[in-house]
Amino acid sequence: MSTAAPLETVLEVRGLRLNRGHRQVICGVDLEVRRSEMVALMGLSGSGKTTVLRAVAGLEAYGEGSIEVEKVGMVFQFHYLFEHLSALANVWLAPVHVLGVARPDAEARAQSLLDQVGVGHRAQAFPRELSGGEAQRVAIARALAVDPPLLLLDEPTASLDPARQNELGKALRELSGQGRTLLFTSHDDDFVRDYATRVVVLAEGRVVEEGEPRQVLTRPKHEATRQLLQVEPAKRRAKR
């Protein structure tokens, strides 16, 4: 599967620069993502990975550079499900009101998307009644409902235990197998090693290293990548 030839470009970022006040937080990032890829953005806190993701989503105004992308879906770290609607309605709302799909069709599709990500049985639950993992699945289904060529996920593993992380990884791999493209940020080198097809390491607003995850994360070339690998196991131990 990993040997399959890369298909057309889904996202192309060129010379992206972005300021927060007078401080430049993204200092010339180039990034290309092709169809069916699962690209991980890694970096220490403050390296700019979430900012790049938000800029791609159109949530950050940037000073210089260009971002070429057709349409994106996004799964936020804290999900941001619509609090006043059931899981099912969270998923069909945009197809009905944005794409103009007939309500019964949109509902049927929403139910099948929820089934697909494994939370079909929670369709009538409200966001406040869902566990963190369930809410994340609903958020993925909501993002997929408008069929974005590129799906962005901000720290998808952050609030999941190792077993749930593996379930998520498999689900994402399945999506990628269906021809969807994924770009996600992560702190977790194990998860990235196991599931990403490519890793891009950011440090101080620049891409410092990128390539095949096993290679990059086993024999890091850049100091920032080494630091990342030292910090992460320690953090995980501290969490337990």
Partner 1 sequence: MRVRSFFLLLLLLAGEAPSIAQDPILRWGGDAEGGAPFMEANPEDPTKLVGFDVEVAELIALELGRTPRFVQVAFAQLDQSAIRGDFDLGLCGIEDTPARRSMVAASVPYYEFREVLTVRDADKDRFKSLADLRGRSIATLGGTIAYEVLLKAEGEHGITAVSYDDDVHPYSDLLLGRVDAVLLDNVLADRSMRRNSGLFTQPEAVDVGHYVVITAPANVELRDRVDEILRSAMRDGRLEAIFQKWNSWNDDQPGLYARVLAAASDVVAEHPAAARPSRAELTLQYLPSLFEAAFITLALSCLSMALAVSLGITIATGRVYGGNLTRAFLTGYVELMRGTPVLLQLFVIYYGLAAMVRLPAFAAALLGLGLNYAAYESEIYRSALEAVPRGQLEASRILGFSRMQVLRLIRGPQAFRLALAPMTNDFVALLKDSSLVSVLTVVELTKRTQIFAANIGSWVIPGVLCAALYLAMSLPLGHLARRLEMRWRAPSPS
Q: Which residues bind partner 1 (CB under 8 A)?
A: 57-59, 71-74, 76, 78, 80-84, 93-94, 97-99, 126, 128-129, 131, 142-143, 146
Six-digit token string for 218: 């086993």
Which among 106, 92, 117, 234 is positioned nearest to 175, based on CA atoms? 117
CA distances from 17 to 63, 64, 156, 239 (A): 6, 5, 25, 34
Minimum CB distance to partner 1 smaller for 41 or for 89: 89
| Smallest separation, CB 46 to partner 1 (Å) | 20
First to last CA, the chain: 35
Minimum CB distance to partner 1 smaller for 21 or for 100: 100
Minimum CB distance to partner 1 smaller for 53 or for 224: 53
Say what the alpha-carbon torsion angle 68, 73, 76, 79 is, to the nearest 10 degrees: 170
Please write down the long-range contacts of 85-90, taking CB distance under 8 Å and 24 or more positions apart: 85/126, 85/127, 86/123, 86/124, 86/125, 86/126, 87/114, 87/119, 87/122, 87/123, 87/124, 87/125, 87/126, 87/127, 87/130, 87/134, 87/138, 88/114, 88/123, 88/124, 90/127, 90/138, 90/142
Residues 138 and 145: their CA atoms lie apart, in Å, by 10
| Smallest separation, CB 164 to partner 1 (Å) | 16
| Smallest separation, CB 125 to partner 1 (Å) | 10
Minimum CB distance to partner 1 smaller for 27 or for 94: 94
| Smallest separation, CB 98 to partner 1 (Å) | 4
| Smallest separation, CB 182 to partner 1 (Å) | 15
Q: Say which amino acid occupies 131.
A: S
| Smallest separation, CB 82 to partner 1 (Å) | 6
| Smallest separation, CB 92 to partner 1 (Å) | 11
Minimum CB distance to partner 1 smaller for 73 or for 156: 73
Minimum CB distance to partner 1 smaller for 64 or for 80: 80
According to DSSP, residue 90 is labeled: H
Minimum CB distance to partner 1 smaller for 44 or for 144: 144
CA atoms within 13 A on the CB side of 186: 27
